[in-house]
Amino acid sequence: MEQHNQTLYAVYGALVHDLGKILYRAGESGSHSESGYKKLKAVWNQPDILDCIRYHHADALKSASLSKQSPAYVVYIADNIASATDRREKENVEEGGQPFKKHLPLSSIFNLMHENPKDFEIPLEPLSNNYARPIPSGEYALTQQDYQNVANCLLQALRGIPPEPQWMNTTLSVLETWTSSIPSSTNTREYADVSLYDHQKITAATAACISEYLLEHAVSDYQQVLVKQGKKFWDEKAFLLYSADVSGIQNFIYTVSTDNALRSMRSRSFFLEFLMEHYIDEVLDGCGLSRANLLYSGGGHCYMLLPNTQKTKLCLAQQSAHINRWLREQFGIRLFLADGMTPCSANELTNQPQKDAPYKEIFRRVSQQISYCKMHRYSAAELMELNRGTVRKDGRECKICGAVEQLNGEKCHWCNLFEQISRDIQDKRKTVFVVSETPYTQLHIELPHGDSCAYLSILETDDAQQLLQQTDDVLRVYTKNAQSLLSVGAHYASQLFVGEYHDSNRINELAEKSTGISRIAVCRMDVDDLGKAFISGFERPHAAAAEDQYKYVTISRTASFSRQMSRFFKYYINSILARVTKDALAVTIVYSGGDDVFLVGAWDHILEAAMRIQEDFQTYTCHTLHLSAGILLKNAKYPIRRSASEAAELEAFAKSHDGKNAVTIFEASAQQTYPWQIFQDKVINEKKNLLERFFANQEDAERGKAFLYRLLDLLRNSEQRINLARFAYLLARLEPKKNNPSYAMYAEFSKQMYQWYRNPTDRQQLITAIYIYVYQTRMKGDTDRA
């Protein structure tokens, strides 16, 4: 077998080695290996791939007659490595009973995070723009018919995909669509929180690494090395954990003027996200691998599991050098890609021995390398090059980024491009991103490609299909937000998820859609302690035995957790904001990815959007993770980059709150910081709603406003004793006659207001509620008083 095909067939075999489990659960008789073999034979009649399916278990492998370099041996050990990371038995499992439950639902990956005491399950559904909401354990039942439907759809999709290198990423996406909500194991003695998709993907990544490692070391007898001496191989450093991180993201995105600011910021954030995806694929292509080897990407960061070979190390050095040279040429020192890698063994990847926590140590070593790389960005030659400078004597300074070159108007090429291409990024008809050696649209984004350049063109599906039939210089194709992937053919790379929800790209238009006073709000929110969750979220610090502390810290869970987080912020956020109650939210996503969100919109719509995202995120993560946010109100003419910076200060203040999980609104102070539940229940539902109900019955609206402004003064200066008497007098002036129908409402209102005034916590909540109510009822042209 040719070396190229050896790894190819091992990866394809690994990707589908357990599909027989779906057939078995759909009612097929016999073992899942045999069921998968028989069905896939009618789809991919390739003997080496079929051997991987049929013989990936030890008993079957013993009686098989295979060549000594059969990829089935690679898939066998790769499956064992992946399974060793997935299948960790539950504590205090009951003895007796059936160990397997054929239609056991998938448990949420968040069930084990932070020793969550709750237990949720995920309904079996293909991926869509609406996420499958976790359901309390025992309330959901899978059926044989559910599996039959999945089996039919999956096999039909695979029939259109030949098992060739250029179709591997398409295969991966098809599997993700149909198997992400199916448990890999239905053993009731184990946690069923690893999906069949994640298990097969990790198996494929492991198989690719092992195959490439064996090929470089000229191993000729796989049976001897991987089966007969398999325990020895588990200690070999056959793998590389690789990570890359882009520095300078925040300053790059928010370096904008007020002109077309939202368009520019959106395009800048998209560019950085796409640049990372492009870099990932440049690395994977150079290593001869697929996206199965990508563990995580988001927020300008990525992790990959790669083979520990000289070919891989050379590719990584070249690609890192290429992209950083290109970044220096285009953006000076504003952007930099830092990377790091560490060799590791199968035992380390499976966290053996558990008491030593070698899996966690792998990530620590990579993190140290990235930190070192960031502190030593440039070589001596590169520093000399930067110091010589490239300032053109005939150039002018771009009014946005400060670059000195021949400008188009007052802006440089990149700043003009970022403003103009935003429409294409947001256009729901343009769902295909084509990377090619020739630009195919007038508006296109230049990308590094070796020592030359590639170009990103954003097209509608029909135009992309026509282009692919007419040219052969296309490098790869991406689709946006779960659009059809088979229609774009063999160059397919991946689905890209883009937070594209928007109402308007003009800040003044967003402000005019607000209720009451014409203001925008800027909201910045991100996940609390995500780094801690990523590294140690599955640890059990209270376990009695040291080895049990790291029992559930596995690569499959890390990959699944990372994928779920990225999908929420890059994709599901669109449907969350689009959920219509009355009118569509006048909100625009500027940035959403990885673990954080940046929104701009009508001020009251932003409040609603933030509460929706927080509530859905809590549900999505089974209440194991939470968000903190800063929400700032400003005039539409206020510079957006200053709003972004000030909103970040509010967000940081929310994160300083005890326990985090809070929102800071209006100003960076403890008085304006609330846990989300308190903000929702006490500020909005209790106090603001009472204000709305009371003043809805007041005929004199202006008198009501004057009362509230006077009330605010007294609440703010409550330390003056006389103000309590003034407060009571103010309430008394509103008292109607007792035979007035509105008296009961007044009695409730005055009683509550008096009680809240006397309690410092309630008093501050009331101040915030009054702010919101006043803004909500002010006329568009009113000036600020509150």
Q: Choose among 534, 108, 553, 510: nearest CA to 350.
A: 553
Say whether pLDDT at 516 is over 80.
yes
For residue 115, what pLDDT is reported? 84
What is the pLDDT averaged over residues 215-219? 95
Q: Choose among 206, 281, 216: nearest CA to 239.
A: 206
Say whether pLDDT at 402 is over 80.
no
State how far the alpha carbon of 347 is from the alpha carbons of 90, 230, 549, in Å: 21, 12, 17
Any idea how long the chain is? Answer: 786
Give the pLDDT band (50/70/90) at residue 117: confident
Say whether pLDDT at 703 is over 80.
no
**Residues 89/190, Cβ–Cβ less than 8 Å:** yes
What is the pLDDT averaged over residues 114-140? 86
What is the pLDDT averaged over residues 48-71? 91
Give the pLDDT band (50/70/90) at residue 1: very low
Taking the C-alpha atoms of residue 76 and residue 79, their distance in angstroms, rounded to an integer, is: 5
Beta-bridge partners for 447 = 454
Lowest-pLDDT choice from 2-11, 14-23, 603-612:
2-11
Taking the C-alpha atoms of residue 535 and residue 527, their distance in angstroms, rounded to an integer, is: 14
Taking the C-alpha atoms of residue 559 and residue 564, their distance in angstroms, rounded to an integer, is: 9
What is the pLDDT averaged over residues 436-459? 93
Say whether pLDDT at 4 is over 70.
no
Residue partners of 4: CB distance under 8 A and separation at least 6: 165, 288
For residue 96, what pLDDT is reported? 41
What is the pLDDT averaged over residues 487-509? 84
Q: Write the DSSP assignment of 468-484 as a string of letters.
A: HHH-S-EEEEEEETT--
Q: Choose among 601, 608, 688, 613: nearest CA to 647.
A: 601
For residue 488, what pLDDT is reported? 58
pTM here is 0.91
Lowest-pLDDT choice from 500-509, 550-559, 696-705:
696-705
Of the chain, the percentage scoring pLDDT greater than 90 comes to: 55
Choose between 121 and 744: higher pLDDT.
121
Give the pLDDT band (50/70/90) at residue 91: very low
Residue partners of 630: CB distance under 8 A and separation at least 6: 523, 524, 525, 647, 648, 649, 650, 651, 652, 653, 654, 663, 664, 665, 668
Decide the pairing of beta strands 474-480 and 432-436.
antiparallel
What is the pLDDT averaged over residues 97-108? 82
Rg (CA), the chain: 29
Of the chain, the percentage scoring pLDDT greater than 70 comes to: 93
Helix (H) or strand (E) holding 367: helix 358-375
For residue 701, what pLDDT is reported? 56
Q: Report domain extents, the chain.
A: 3-233, 239-496, 507-666, 680-777
Q: Which spans in 583-736 are helix H?
A: 603-620, 640-655, 676-678, 689-695, 701-716, 722-732
For residue 390, what pLDDT is reported? 52
What are the structure tokens assigned to 463, written together?
């135009």
For residue 700, what pLDDT is reported? 61
Q: Choose among 528, 538, 541: nearest CA to 560.
A: 538
**Residues 517/782, Cβ–Cβ less than 8 Å:** yes
What is the pLDDT averaged over residues 420-436? 90
**Residues 478/433, Cβ–Cβ less than 8 Å:** yes
Say whether pLDDT at 98 is over 70.
no
Residue partners of 395: CB distance under 8 A and separation at least 6: 404, 405, 406, 407
- Distance between alpha carbon 777 and the CA centroid of its chain, in Å? 37
Beta-bridge partners for 436 = 455, 474
Choose between 19 and 405: higher pLDDT.
19
Tally of CA atoms within 13 A in the half-sphere of 548 that contains its CB: 10
Lowest-pLDDT choice from 192-206, 380-394, 578-592, 607-621:
380-394
State how far the alpha carbon of 212 is from the alpha carbons of 15, 219, 279, in Å: 17, 10, 21
Lowest-pLDDT choice from 141-155, 209-223, 638-652, 685-699:
685-699
Greatest mean pLDDT range, 14-23, 78-87, 137-146: 14-23
463: buried, middle or exposed (CB in 10 Å: 19+, 13-18, 0-12)? Answer: middle
What are the structure tokens assigned to 441, written together?
């649209």
The Cα angle at residue 70 between residues 69 and 75, in degrees rounded to 5: 120
SS3 90: coil
Q: Write the DSSP assignment of 516-566 as a string of letters.
A: SS--EEEEEEEETTHHHHHHHTT--TT-SSGGGGGTT--HHHHHHHHHHHH
What are the structure tokens assigned to 297, written together?
């990407």
The Cα angle at residue 370 between residues 364 and 372, in degrees rounded to 5: 105
Name the average pLDDT for the chain: 88
For residue 95, what pLDDT is reported? 38
Describe the chain by its helix, strand, coil percentages, rounded to 5: 50, 15, 35
Neighbours of 544 (CB within 10 A): 8
Give the pLDDT band (50/70/90) at residue 754: confident
Give the pLDDT band (50/70/90) at residue 684: very high
Taking the C-alpha atoms of residue 414 and residue 168, their distance in angstroms, rounded to an integer, is: 34
Taking the C-alpha atoms of residue 652 and residue 646, their distance in angstroms, rounded to an integer, is: 10
Taking the C-alpha atoms of residue 599 and residue 619, their distance in angstroms, rounded to an integer, is: 21
State how far the alpha carbon of 46 is from the alpha carbons of 42, 213, 291, 622, 730, in Å: 10, 23, 22, 43, 86
Say whether pLDDT at 731 is over 60.
yes
Question: Is domain 507-666 annotated with CATH 1.20.1070.10?
Answer: no
